[in-house]
Structure 1
Amino acid sequence: MSTALAPGTDTYDVVVAGGGPAGCAAALVLARAGRTVLLADAGTGPPKVGETLVPAGRVLLGDLGVADRVLGSGHLPCYGSLSAWGSADLHAVDFINDPHGHGWHLDRRLFDRRLRDAARAAGAEVTEGSAVRAPARTPDGGWTLVLRGGTGPAGTRSGGERTVRCRWVIDATGRAAAIAVRCGARRRVGDRLTALYVPLEADPLDTDRRSLVESDEDGWWYTAPQPSGGRLVAYFTDADLPAASPTAHHFHRRMSATRHVSRWVHRDGPPPTSPAAPRRAAAHTAHLDTVYGDGWTAAGDAAVAFDPLSSQGVLTALYTGLGAGLAVGARLGRAAQGADSALAAYAEQVAAARSAYLRGHRVIHAQEARWIDRSFWARRLADLPGPSRRPREGPSTS
């Protein structure tokens, strides 16, 4: 679909849809390269809590020139992790041996806001609360887009709709991949993983800054301290299994049955008599069949989304955002002949990252062989070679 450009429409080289780590990284790269950039942050959806940035994240933030600015006060250091996986015993990974130092339990709102501030300081225009809608091609090969809600240039506009024009669109809208899917890309979903999570109040006895993972027969548990105080507890299972019941009773009953998570959560006494019901968030593995097309490129979860067990979510968002920004910048600066080579190289980088993730994903799930007759584990072990990893047909109920 193409459309004529309305008089007075604001024009940019690139519009980045999505103000998370991927979108901000892309906007930073492009703005510093002298491109005119509009970064539109919809600011919708539930707050992202419980996320950890691994030590290598400092390298990517350093490449973007924002490490000190973004990783200042407000986050908690993460000194390592504990896991009860494949057995009931705890195993520790200590970041003291990591050349990049410790990781971070992120305050995602603060983290993302600092990234957007850095993009603004680099020269990008940043709109808050602005959803990108109605992408349409113009006769000259560009785009018109409608921004709904939020602020305009220098914060002078609010609410309503605003039409903008650009040469290129970067889709950093998360797992929905709203722009890419509208442009014809297909979303490939690898599993049905969902997260049920509950934030808990601060406990003065809780001073451990490590994260903890513990598997059970229908999924796995995760708990970590929060920068705002308190602790997050999350359970990951497939959305179609009975274990995914969102009731407070079911969630806390299962949590109390764990060997390690329950002790961390209830250090100072028995569980509450009126526990909170868990919230739900998507956690499935997914990717696009193509991460770029005519006039658009996808980054972050829009391009490829990993199981949270990998702890690679924020890192991959920064990596793909940086790569997308460099590729689009190169594409806009080249003549037609060979113009897509940078985008093709970016697509290969994303594919390589996904392949590495899948190899690691198979290895880690193969280490848990206690419940291979349960649906959650059978699904993840089905493609592994060898008779010891061939799952038996088993029940899918608790």
Structure 2
Amino acid sequence: MTPAAPAAAGHARYDVVVAGGGPAGAAAALALLRAGRTVLLADAGRGPAQVGEALPAAARVLLRDLGADRALTEGHLPCRANRSAWGGPELGWQDSILDPHGPGWHLDRPLFDRRLRAQARAQGARLATGTAVRPVARTADGGWTVELRGPGGSRPARCRWLVDATGRRAAVAIACGARRLVRDRLIAVHLTLGPADPPTPDTTTTVEAASDGWWYTAPLPTGRRLLAWYTDADLPAARTALADRLAATRHVGPLAGAHPWPPDTAPRRAPAHTARLDTVSGGGWTAAGDAAVAFDPLSSQGILTALFTGLSAGRAVDAHLSGDPDALAAHARTVDAVGAAYLRNHRTHYAAERRWPDRPFWQRRHTPTPEETPG
């Protein structure tokens, strides 16, 4: 990044460039478009594979506010209940019939993301697929010159503001000097199993605690099943064969056993730690979604939080560009409040599991306030 530069002729110009085409980026773009802003939505189409495809029913309200409720019209599987063996060996149930919003969804995540981006394009966004955003220089009027790196090479563009929705990498924010603060070392070791034959009627998510972490499994709309083992990256449990650990489970193993293990496919690893930026806005940029604050998947709030903070960021940037001096600070307070509520629930939920008090994974989570470290 270089100091302020004069405006260059011939550069494409936008009010806002949104880096990242997932739920947070699409939500920010939709909020800005509804306010009358010109937006470039750049989707790099890379990064770690998504783990955990569930969306709570409360997302209906956010998607309706964004004019994007058609993203859920078809192609997804309803989630009728959440089950967990946590704090004891038996399964407890939380049925969707008790939720005033109805059932949630097991998402076809690529389909969901494509529909959100398509809705942004339908509302007037310029969509750049396979394109990464690199901030190059501040312009004399306080905006940005950015480099758009896509399939056809690199090209410049100008904007008044940047939104970082690049996920846990927080690529724009970190390039602009922000720091990523990491609270733990949680990872997901995950695999997508083949379709069951005959198909199974299960439409629930299932979580099962174990001595060195916890398991998650859920059906996918394709008939396949997601299987994920969560533990800390530095523990031996992160390197043990997934099938060996699965054999010791009481509930997840039988569900997974109805689905064929994909041949010649090794489990993949993805970051799942709790993290946040030390600031969610800076000179000419604002962060949303996992770029701003990333949660342990046990919360089941990742996509919902991405939509919510994307909507908040879009509205804040619009208000700031319209002259509201408190808009960005209000967005920061919103993200802080979401993070604080998450940490309270996170501590409560992990405290409920006390069967393995001598195991490092659980000892770490029973520590009152783990220290955040730059990461």
TM-score range, shorter chain: over 0.9
Q: 1:34 to 1:274 in 2, by over 3 A?
A: closer
2:245 to 225, 229, 254: 254
Q: Does 1:266 align with 2:283?
A: no
Indicate the SS of the match to 2:290.
helix
Tell me how far 1:252 sits from its aligned partner.
Answer: 0.4
8 Å Cα contact 1:31/1:122 also seen in 2: yes
8 Å Cα contact 1:168/1:295 also seen in 2: yes
Separation in structure 2 between the aligned mates of residue 112 and residue 205 of structure 1, nearest angstrom:
26
Q: 1:147 to 1:347 in 2, by over 3 A?
A: same
Separation in structure 1 between the aligned mates of residue 126 and residue 258 of structure 2, nearest angstrom:
47
Q: Does 1:358 align with 2:359?
A: no
Q: 1:382 to 1:124 in 2, by over 3 A?
A: same
Q: 1:274 to 1:10 in 2, by over 3 A?
A: closer
8 Å Cα contact 2:193/2:262 also seen in 1: no
Indicate the SS of the match to 1:197.
strand
Alignment of 1:82-231 (within 5 A): 82-150=83-151, 159-203=152-196, 204-231=198-225
Structure number with the higher strand fraction is 2
Instruction: Name structure 1 gaps, 5 residues minimum.
Output: 151-158, 385-398
Tell me how far 1:135 sits from its aligned partner.
Answer: 3.0
Tell me how far 1:257 sits from its aligned partner.
Answer: 0.7
Separation in structure 2 between the aligned mates of residue 310 and residue 129 of structure 1, nearest angstrom:
30
| CA displacement 1:42-88 (0-9 Å, x = unmatched) | 00124425310001011111111111x10011111101111000110
| CA displacement 1:313-354 (0-9 Å, x = unmatched) | 0000000000000000000011xxxx3301111111110000
1:378 to 353, 363, 367: 363
Tell me how far 1:218 sits from its aligned partner.
Answer: 0.5
Indicate the SS of the match to 2:316.
helix
Separation in structure 2 between the aligned mates of residue 100 and residue 313 of structure 1, nearest angstrom:
18
Aligned to 1:52: 54
Separation in structure 1 between the aligned mates of residue 262 and residue 174 of structure 2, nearest angstrom:
46
Separation in structure 1 between the aligned mates of residue 142 and residue 331 of structure 2, nearest angstrom:
22
Return the index of the structure with the highest Cα Rg: 1
TM-score normalised over the length of structure 2: 0.95
| CA displacement 1:210-232 (0-9 Å, x = unmatched) | 01000100000000001122101
Q: 1:134 to 1:329 in 2, by over 3 A?
A: closer
Q: What is the identity, as a one-letter code, of the residue corresponding to 1:94?
A: D
Separation in structure 2 between the aligned mates of residue 174 and residue 16 of structure 1, nearest angstrom:
12
Separation in structure 1 between the aligned mates of residue 137 and residue 33 of structure 2, nearest angstrom:
24
- Name which structure has the greater RCO, CA cutoff 8 Å, separation 6+: 2
Q: 1:160 to 1:75 in 2, by over 3 A?
A: same
| CA displacement 1:71-120 (0-9 Å, x = unmatched) | 01111110111100011000000011101000000111100100001101
| CA displacement 1:269-308 (0-9 Å, x = unmatched) | xx86978421111111000111111211000000000000
8 Å Cα contact 2:51/2:188 also seen in 1: no
Aligned to 2:271: 282
Instruction: Name structure 2 gaps, 5 residues minimum.
Output: 370-375
Identity of aligned residues (%): 61
Q: What is the identity, as a one-letter code, of the residue corresponding to 2:63?
A: L
